[in-house]
C-alpha cells in the first residue's frame, strides 16, 4: 500500500513500562524508497533492542530524530510519503522530541471558571441581603451555572460554617456569601469574624477587583472590639527532637476557642472565701447511708455546695445573669452547669442540670452524678450542654486549695470548690474567748464578670453562701 499521504513513523512502545527509546541506526536515508514491513530503523530501549518495520511503502521523506537521540514512546521520528519537510502529518502528531517531561501533555486547558462563579454568585444573591457582592469583576456575562453543588444556594450552611457561626454567635445569613449560589463559604465567615463581625449591614461596596470575601469595612455602629492578636500559626511538620505531635481533637479545639473567647469577653475577677464544713460533714455522714441504701446516690459535698449556691442565687440575680447585647438578662430559674473532666485530660464538658432551683439535695446529688456519668460515657445530647446560667467547677479533688476558673460564656460567674482539709481554725465561744480548733475547711471561689457583678456583690454572695453551708438546715433528705 504505497501512499502519497504522509504516514508517521513513531517510537514504538516495547513493553508496558517502557517510556522512551533511543534510535541506534536508520536503515534507510531520507529520499530512499522503503516497502511496508521492511526494516526501517533500529532502536534500543531499557528492555530490548529491536528493528522497527516501516509502517507503509513509499519514500522516507523525513528523518526527525537522529541516530543516538532518545525520545519518548509515541514520538514521531520520521515520515513516509507526503510532502516532505513540514508535511501534513505534523499537525496532528505530538510535538517532535525535545519534551523530556515524563507526564503527557494535557490536551485542553479548561477555561478559568472564576468568571462563571462570579456571575452565578451575582445572580443568586437574594434581594433582601444587600451583601457586598463585591467579590468579582462584574464584567462577566451571565453564564450557564457551573455544575455546582446541591443548588441549596445561600440557604445551605455547611458544617464548618455552622460550627464557626455557633462559636462566634454569628447568624450566617448576615454574612456575605461568595460560594456557589451565594452560599457562605468558610472563607467568607472567617473573613467576617476577622473583620469584627459587623453588626450593621455594611454598605454595598463598589465592585472590587479582589476576590476577598470580607465585607467592606463600612463604619459599624459601635467600634469593633480590638482584634485579639492573631496567634502565630505553628508551622506544621516541623518537629524538634523529643517532641511528639498529635492532632488537635475537635473537643480540644472547641475548649481552646471557648476559653480564649471567654477571657476576651468577660472581665474576670476572682474572690475566695473559707468555709467551715463541720456541719456539712456531720449531716452528710448521717445522710450518706440512707441515700446510698434507699436511692443508691452519694450525697457529695458538691451536691451540698450546689444546693446552697442555687438558694443563694435567688438573692443575687446578677450572678445568675447574662449580658446580651445592650441588655442584662436575669432569670427566675437556675440551669446549673457542672464542669466534668473527661478521661485523662482528654477534655472538659459542662453538662447542665436544668431548673436546679426545683431540686432538693437528693435531686441535685442524683442529677449531678447522672449527668457526669452521661458526659463520661459520651451520652450527652445537645440539650444537655446548652442553656446553662451558672456553673460550678470542682478542681479540688486533687488537693488544690485555690484557682481562677474561666467563665462559661455567656454566663456571669463560675463557682469553684477546692479540697476539704482539716485546718487549725480560730473559734470564739459565747463568752468571747478565742481558741484554736481543728476544723474541716473548704475554700470556695467565685469568678465573676466584673462588667456585671461588682466586687462587693460577689463578696456578699460568698458570705451568704458560707452562712448556708456552715449552718446547714437539715431540711429534706
Partner 1 sequence: MAELTYLQAISDGLRTEMRRDKRVFLIGEDVGVYGGAFKVSLGFQEEFGAWRVIDAPLAETAIVGGCTGAAIMGMRPVAEMQFADFISCGWDQLVTVAAKQRWRAGTPVPMVVRLPSGGGFSGGPFHSQNPESSFAHIPGLKCVCPATPEDAKGLLISAIEDPNPVLYFEHKHLYRRIKGEVPEERYTTPLGKARVHRGGDDVSVITWGAMVYTADEAAQQLGSDGVSVEIVDLRTVMPWDKAAVLESVRKTSKVLVLHEDTRSGGFGGEIAATIAEEAFEDLDAPVKRLAAPDTPVPFSPPLEKAFIPQVEDVVAGLRELAEY
Half-sphere exposure of 9 (CA within 13 A, CB side): 35
Give the x/- contact pattern for partner 1 in 402-431, rule: CB under 8 A. ------------------------------
Stretch touching partner 1 by CB under 8 A, among 105-113, 223-231, 351-359, 460-468: 105-113
- Whose Cβ is closer to partner 1: residue 193's or residue 457's? 193
The answer to whether residues 61 and 87 touch, using CB atoms and an 8 Å cutoff, is yes
Residues 348/359/463/473 CA torsion (nearest 10 deg): -130
Q: Does 146 bind partner 1 (CB under 8 A)?
A: yes
Select from 25-33, 181-189, 328-336, 453-461 the region that touches partner 1 (CB under 8 A). 181-189
Among 115, 172, 168, 174, CA closest to 144: 115
Measure the CA–CA gap between 114 and 474, rounded to whole angstroms: 73
Contact with partner 1 (CB under 8 A) among 143, 170, 186, 363 = 186
183 is a site residue for partner 1 (CB under 8 A): yes
- Contacts of partner 1 in 203-222 (CB under 8 A): 211
Catalytic residue among 8, 454, 464, 471: 454
Contact call for residue 110 and partner 1 (CB under 8 A)? yes
Task: Please indicate whether residue 168 is annotated as part of the active site.
Answer: no
Q: Going edge to edge, which strands form the sheet with 20-26?
A: 49-53, 39-44, 20-26, 70-72
Angle between helices 455-470 and 278-295 (to 10 degrees): 60
Binder to partner 1 among 137, 163, 193, 328 (CB under 8 A)? 163
| Of 24, 13, 35, nearest in space to 81 by CA | 35
Compare residues 19 and 379 and give the one whose CB is closer to partner 1.
19
Angle between helices 159-168 and 250-265 (to 10 degrees): 30
Helix or strand (DSSP H, E) at 290: helix 278-295
- 383 annotated active-site: no
Is residue 133 close enough to count as binding partner 1 by CB under 8 A? Answer: no
d(CA 198, CA 216): 10
**Given the complex with partner 1, which of 379 and 474 has the nearer CB atom?**
379
Contacts with partner 1 by CB under 8 A lie at 13, 15-20, 46-47, 102-103, 106-110, 112-114, 116-117, 120, 146-150, 158-163, 179-180, 183, 185-186, 211, 236-237, 246-247, 250
Active site residues: 450, 454
Amino acid at each position: 500500500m504505497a501512499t502519497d499521504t504522509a504516514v508517521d513513523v513513531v517510537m514504538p512502545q516495547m513493553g508496558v513500562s517502557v517510556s522512551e527509546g533511543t534510535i541506534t541506526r536508520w536503515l534507510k536515508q531520507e529520499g530512499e524508497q522503503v516497502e511496508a514491513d521492511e526494516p526501517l530503523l533500529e532502536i534500543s530501549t531499557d528492555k530490548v533492542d529491536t528493528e522497527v518495520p516501516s509502517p507503509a511503502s513509499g519514500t522516507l521523506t523525513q528523518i526527525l530524530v537522529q541516530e543516538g537521540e532518545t525520545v519518548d514512546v509515541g514520538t514521531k521520528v520520521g515520515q513516509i510519503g507526503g510532502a516532505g519537510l513540514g508535511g501534513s502529518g505534523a499537525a496532528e502528531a505530538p510535538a517532535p522530541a525535545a519534551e523530556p517531561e515524563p507526564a503527557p501533555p494535557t490536551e485542553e486547558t479548561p477555561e478559568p471558571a472564576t468568571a462563571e462563579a462570579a456571575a452565578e454568585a451575582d445572580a443568586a444573591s437574594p434581594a433582601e441581603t444587600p451583601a457586598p457582592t463585591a467579590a468579582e469583576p462584574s464584567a462577566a456575562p451571565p453564564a450557564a451555572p457551573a455544575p455546582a453543588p446541591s443548588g441549596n444556594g445561600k440557604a445551605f450552611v455547611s458544617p464548618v460554617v455552622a460550627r464557626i457561626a455557633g462559636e462566634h454567635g454569628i447568624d450566617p445569613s448576615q454574612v456575605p456569601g461568595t460560594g456557589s449560589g451565594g452560599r457562605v463559604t468558610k472563607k467568607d465567615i472567617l473573613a467576617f469574624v476577622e473583620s469584627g463581625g459587623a453588626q450593621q449591614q455594611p454598605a454595598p461596596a463598589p465592585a472590587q477587583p479582589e476576590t476577598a470575601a470580607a465585607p467592606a469595612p463600612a463604619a459599624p455602629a459601635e467600634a469593633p472590639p480590638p482584634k485579639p492578636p492573631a496567634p502565630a500559626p505553628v508551622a506544621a511538620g516541623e518537629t524538634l527532637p523529643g517532641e511528639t505531635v498529635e492532632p488537635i481533637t475537635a473537643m480540644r479545639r472547641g475548649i481552646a476557642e471557648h476559653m480564649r473567647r471567654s477571657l476576651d469577653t468577660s472581665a474576670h475577677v476572682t474572690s475566695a472565701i473559707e468555709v467551715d464544713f463541720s456541719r456539712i460533714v456531720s449531716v452528710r455522714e448521717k445522710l450518706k447511708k440512707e441515700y446510698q441504701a434507699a436511692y443508691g446516690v452519694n450525697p457529695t459535698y458538691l451536691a451540698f455546695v450546689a444546693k446552697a449556691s442555687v438558694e443563694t442565687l435567688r438573692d443575687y440575680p446578677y450572678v445568675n445573669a447574662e449580658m446580651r447585647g445592650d441588655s442584662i438578662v436575669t432569670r427566675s430559674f437556675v440551669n446549673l452547669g457542672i464542669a466534668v473532666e473527661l478521661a485523662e485530660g482528654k477534655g472538659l464538658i459542662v453538662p447542665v442540670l436544668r431548673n436546679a432551683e426545683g431540686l432538693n439535695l437528693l435531686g441535685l446529688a442524683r442529677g449531678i452524678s447522672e449527668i457526669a456519668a452521661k458526659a463520661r460515657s459520651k451520652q450527652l445530647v445537645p440539650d444537655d450542654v446548652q442553656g446553662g446560667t451558672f456553673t460550678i467547677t470542682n478542681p479540688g479533688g486533687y488537693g488544690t486549695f485555690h484557682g481562677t476558673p474561666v467563665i462559661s460564656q455567656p454566663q456571669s460567674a463560675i463557682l469553684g470548690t477546692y479540697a476539704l482539709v482539716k485546718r487549725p481554725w480560730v473559734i470564739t465561744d459565747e463568752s468571747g474567748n478565742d481558741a484554736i480548733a481543728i476544723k474541716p475547711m473548704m475554700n470556695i471561689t467565685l469568678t465573676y464578670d466584673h462588667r456585671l457583678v461588682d466586687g462587693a456583690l460577689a463578696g456578699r454572695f460568698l458570705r451568704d453562701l458560707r452562712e448556708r453551708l456552715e449552718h446547714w438546715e437539715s431540711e429534706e433528705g
